[in-house]
A and B are shown apart, each in its own frame.
Chain A
């Protein structure tokens, strides 16, 4: 396999929940895109745009028809495809993961994935320790705590640790920042960046807001009503700030700031990722004036 081959590919993916019943609802109309190894992709879109359905499709958690979703070139819906192996490679942190903890005790929950994958006890223990430590939950202190007694933010970290411990080459996070306080967000963001660098992960982040995704990802796929509305490098997509906001996508603060300042400086670029960058661009224009 060439290093440039897509690791995940969606080809004319369409999906209807409860198809053939009176409760049918069409979630995905037509979506095609590829994700390459090591890429960091943000999938953004307003609610009901189909993000979560796509996340489920990556690990074949839907009733998929064949020829739509491919992992390393293999059709995941083909008869006889090893779904277990697929799920050991694509790790998913669902929306509100704290409500999806399986075991009662922190250590056991984090060990759930590796154990189910048939990893030996000693290595599982190591992975649990390393994952909990990585999320700022020291292993000796937390491993025997009850998950229900933890705060919401801690529960979320346990859930993420549970997926990290599976050592999947692909990590998918659905709205990882929703409901976290600013400090929790900052910490999680730093952690994810570190992980993506250290472990050479392929990272997919779903969100209704570009402000977190813009700090994590270098490519953005914008969804709207079950179709791909935009797809490109982060800066290129940010330049179309008007269109993004018309699609109900929250812009990063510097970008929305730049958008407002355009009344004064019509040539101010919208693809400013940080406050510093915005400041520099402004100073440049102030000097000229």
Chain B
């Protein structure tokens, strides 16, 4: 019935062993960073048109099924569309009289509004896509190590990098666990006569609300157990932790990074 996991890709890792998966995580993170910066700098439809082939390339090379990514993003895209709708209606910028397609009081639809909402939408989608693909193609271990090494130098300035990264990674790791838990509770309640697989959207949403308290309580309990488990295995944070596996970037990794950076520069400058 509920199989929520079908529709949630956040925090999942799909190992297809592709080139994207095997990249050195540090380099991959650097490439992601380049794309994030670019997503804010690019300011025109032409720029995003230049980006598109790169996205297609990443999708194809990573071998993560497109249908899976799309299904998992449906909710997010719907939400984005909803927000952009208002962005168009309440466009605050200057609009020449010829730009209005429709107007009613403070509500309007103008070509300027549509263009600005379009750019904003593309920017958010690009950002979302890059982050999603980073998660789908990078195991948590790699992600942790990569982040720690990249931000490692900050440790000397007193920033608790190791701890921050740990918190971040645990937060991500809890997402699929929570989803599992929600499914289990929903099944238990359904079996006792409150169906989660029937009724309209509002009714369903209300029932989901009933699950939140047990999930919350369970979450604290789980976090408690995890910290005890880490203590018993003598975990201590800080920069004195060593790595079991040393990372090494291959020339091909640098090549990919260079490609991404040049591509982004091109998209920015066109």
User: Which residue numbers of A lie inside 8 Å of B, CB to CB?
Assistant: 17-18, 20-23, 56, 59-63, 83-84, 87-88, 91-92, 94, 97, 99-100, 102, 112-113, 116-117, 148, 162-163, 166
Contacts and interface: CB of A to CB of B under 8 A. Distances in A.
Contact of A61 (B5, B191, B198): B191
Interface string B171-210: 0000000000000110111111111011000000000001
Contact of B1 (A62, A94, A113): A62
B185 A100 contact: yes
A121 to B, nearest CB: 16
Nearest to A94: B188
Interface string B64-102: 110110010000000000000000000000000000000
Interface string B152-178: 000000000000000000000000000
A89 to B, nearest CB: 11
A59 B188 CA distance: 11
A113 B190 contact: no
Q: Size band of the B side of the interface?
A: 20 to 34
Contacts of A18: 3, 5-6
Given A22-B14, A83-B198, A113 B192 contact: yes
B145 interface: no
A20 B66 CA distance: 12
Contact of B192 (A99, A148, A162): A162
Of the candidates B6, B67, B71, the one having the most CB atoms from chain A within 10 angstroms of its own CB is: B6
A60 B190 CA distance: 10
Closest 4 A-B residue pairs measured CB to CB? A116-B193, A100-B188, A113-B192, A22-B14
Contacts of B39: none
Interface of B: 1, 3, 5-6, 12, 14, 16, 64-65, 67-68, 71, 184-185, 187-195, 197-198, 210, 214, 217-218
A56 B68 contact: no
Given A21-B68, A23-B12, A63-B1, A94 B192 contact: no
B192 A61 contact: no
A59 B192 CA distance: 10
B187 A163 contact: no
Contact of A94 (B14, B191, B218): B191
A63 B192 CA distance: 18
A22 B1 contact: no
Contacts of B71: 21
Contacts of B67: 20
A18 B191 CA distance: 20
Contacts of B193: 84, 87-88, 112-113, 116-117, 166
B1 to A, nearest CB: 5
Contact of B64 (A22, A62, A97): A22
B206 to A, nearest CB: 14
B3 A94 contact: no
B187 A83 contact: no
